[in-house]
Structure 1
Amino acid sequence: MMTISRLLSIIVFSLMFYGCAAPYKPVPEGYTGSIAYVEDTYSHKQTSTAHFYELAMVNGRHIESSWGATRSRNYGRGREFDPVMVKRRLPAEPLEVTIQAYQFFSTDFESMIGDNYLLQHTFNFTPKANEEYRVKGDVLWLRTSVWLEDSNGEKVEGSFLSLEAIDRKEKLKTDKEKRRKEKKEKKLKQNSSI
């Protein structure tokens, strides 16, 4: 039987990807500065699951996801799917980025009953001009890890995060409470300015 915390994590995870607004584009139209690239990756593909490692947010704003691209491209295929990894352009300037590792499920039913082992990590990062980065990780029952690698396979400083299963669940809970508090403070600030 599904626990309340699992159901809530599924709802939160789904809402991250089903936003009404178009995803944020970190490189605006007409940008003439230097750029770098970040590509999502995957591993352990099976019939209806895979481990996805992706760039989720830039400067606190959601961007195009490999989860959404994969679900969209494979719509109507049932449990079968081919992963679609997104490669994004980023300005070569100081950024706050959020990377994540999780288990992808090809069907809604599986995502409701399975544990996605979601781990998100936010850190400050200044991409090097013309560098190609890849989000990498491990998604295991006991531990989930995520990091960013440069084109030489070196981990980007500050990008590595690895948590045991129990710590991962506590981090999700803490992050959720932090987002709720920030949302409440923002709403109070908006109401006080009216």
Structure 2
Amino acid sequence: MRAGLTAVGLALLLGGCTSFEPATPPDYTGPTANVADQAVQVSGQLLHVFEMTQVDGRRLSSTSMAVVRANQGRGFAVAPVALTNELPLRPARVRLQAATQYAAPILALTNPTCRAEGDVAFTPEAGKGYRVAGRITAEACEAWIEDLATQQPVTEKVSGKGTKG
């Protein structure tokens, strides 16, 4: 899926040109719930990243970009980094992403890649923690938000083609 690679690469390059906002609006003073991204180590050169990139149209700092920044200068090795966000306890539209992330761009040109992105409705509840979960296989590239305690999905899935194209 070279198109997925191009879109992720372009987003990373343009990341410095766009400002990021917190998941919680500045004027919000009520309670929040934590939503953690995931960067799953598949090998020394490959991560599977499941992240929240927008909330109600506000662009968030992403785990994908944090991984790139933290791993600069490491050559063909990559270590996971995952960000978290605090969301107000009210209905929101969040953008989720599942993507393969290699240690170096050249590796993505010669290995299977995938990227799925889309918006889902999400209403966090008081006293609960959440994480962006997903799966990347040859057949599917998916992301959703799940309850940390029960590991049950609390949103619809965002789905795309798997790594076999």
Structure 1 distance, partners of 2:49, 2:105, is 16
1:138 is matched with 135
Q: In the alignment, is the contact (CA less than 8 A) between 1:117 and 1:141 conserved in 2?
A: no
2:97 is matched with 100
2:146 is matched with 149
Higher strand share: 2
Query: Structure 1 length as normaliser, TM-score?
Result: 0.74
What displacement does 1:74 show? 1.3
What displacement does 1:9 show? 3.2
2:119 is matched with 122
Match of 2:5 among 6, 10, 18: 10
> Which is higher, the Rg of structure 1 or of structure 2?
1
Aligned length: 162
Q: CA RMSD in A?
A: 2.3
Q: Mapping of 1:45-194 within 5 angstroms? A: 45-152=42-149, 153-156=151-154, 158-165=155-162
The change in CA–CA distance for 1:164 and 1:22 in structure 2 (over 3 A counts) is: closer
Matched AA of 2:153: K
Structure 2 distance, partners of 1:125, 1:155, is 11
Alignment partner of 1:81: what SS? coil
Deviations for 1:41-86, whole angstroms, at most 9, x for unmatched residues?
A: 1334201101111112111332111111111111101111211100
Structure 2 distance, partners of 1:151, 1:165, is 25
Deviations for 1:151-190, whole angstroms, at most 9, x for unmatched residues?
A: 221110x422445549x97xxxxxxxxxxxxxxxxxxxxx
Q: In the alignment, is the contact (CA less than 8 A) between 1:100 and 1:121 conserved in 2?
A: yes
Q: In the alignment, is the contact (CA less than 8 A) between 2:30 and 2:88 conserved in 1?
A: yes
Matched AA of 1:35: T
Alignment partner of 1:141: what SS? coil
Range with bigger deviation, 73-82 or 28-37: 28-37
Q: In the alignment, is the contact (CA less than 8 A) between 2:136 and 2:162 conserved in 1?
A: no
Structure 1 distance, partners of 2:11, 2:29, is 30
Structure 1 distance, partners of 2:93, 2:85, is 15
Higher helix share: 1
Alignment partner of 1:110: what SS? helix
Structure 2 distance, partners of 1:43, 1:15, is 22
Alignment partner of 1:45: what SS? strand
Give the unaligned 5+ runs of structure 1: 170-194
Structure 2 distance, partners of 1:143, 1:26, is 28
Matched AA of 1:84: V
